[in-house]
Structure 1
Amino acid sequence: MAIEVEIKLKIRDRQALAAKLTELGFRPGRLLRETDVYFRAKHHDFAERDEALRVRETEDLETGEKTAQLNFKGPKLDDASMTRREMETNVGDGGTVRAILEQIGFTPVIPVEKVRNYFHRGRLTACVDQVTGLGEFLELEILTESEEGRSAALTEIEEVLRQIGHSMEDTTRISYLSQLCSKLENEI
């Protein structure tokens, strides 16, 4: 089980940000379409516990390759970022996994769809996202195996934020799913 140290930042111009990341030494990575289906259950209140269970289906937009993962995210570990313990495993067929979860009492929530462009620099991953219904975001993340690594990872992320003209105060701790649910509630 890894600890994912992560921030999320609303942005205005994906292309300008991608150019800035490249200028800062990030290497462009894969361009993917990711569809996340989150689940809730009567016997386990994920929202109250600040946890998430999802099936992610991914399509590489350059090769057409498709993959799927089952993922569990624990509660946020601090008050400043999206840092959580995370467990993930590849699965053969996302649709089958969703059907299994539904058969045993889990209910899907609205899907979160995004086109995600990955960038990498050392252990740091930058994701420049176009999220359907929400707009453009930057996620910066570092995976660490220990509690001791969390602080150093967050410091490294904060430095990149500073280099692109932002600070932790500009970030949000609200997940894409929560933002979409809130938006739907406000439209009703």
Structure 2
Amino acid sequence: MVPTPTAIRVAQTLGITTSAYVAGSIFSISYLSVPSFLLAPSPVLARQWQLSFDRGKIINPAIALVSIFSYAWLSYKLYGTLNHPKAEMYALSAIATLGIWPYTIFGMMPTNKKLFKKYDEMKGLSVEEKATEVGLAKGESTKELVDRWGMFNLGRGMLPLVGAVLGMWATLD
């Protein structure tokens, strides 16, 4: 048996661990942070969501790019063609992880924009001040929007998780 070159092992490790990390990070926001956020009054909730969003948009996309490039490189380097099952699995891993961007833009952006607006409306309020959200359509309060966003976020987390599973499968197969 010919030993696998170190660069291949590094790319496999980076691809799998970074896509799994991004999935875990995304899921943890929905499972851990959002339920805690929903206990807060609307002005605090809007700030908490915005802070979480701002931090997540810096960290997770950068880490996801490491995964995407690792999988794409593995697909090309190991097989040079998509006519090989492992090359296809690594390519699908890259595509699944890349899917967080269109999912966010097309699926989550309408809710994100409403939450950005809520944050702008409430950022001047102190923690003690009560915000009344009157005249809202059903599903438009800050709490309802953050709850909806948390559910969408679970769907987004599935994409890099699928990437990690496919990457692991290609590596171990």
Same fold (TM over 0.5): no
Considering fraction of residues, name the structure with more strand: 1
Return the TM-score normalized by structure 2. 0.31
Considering fraction of residues, name the structure with more helix: 2
The structure number with the bigger radius of gyration is 2
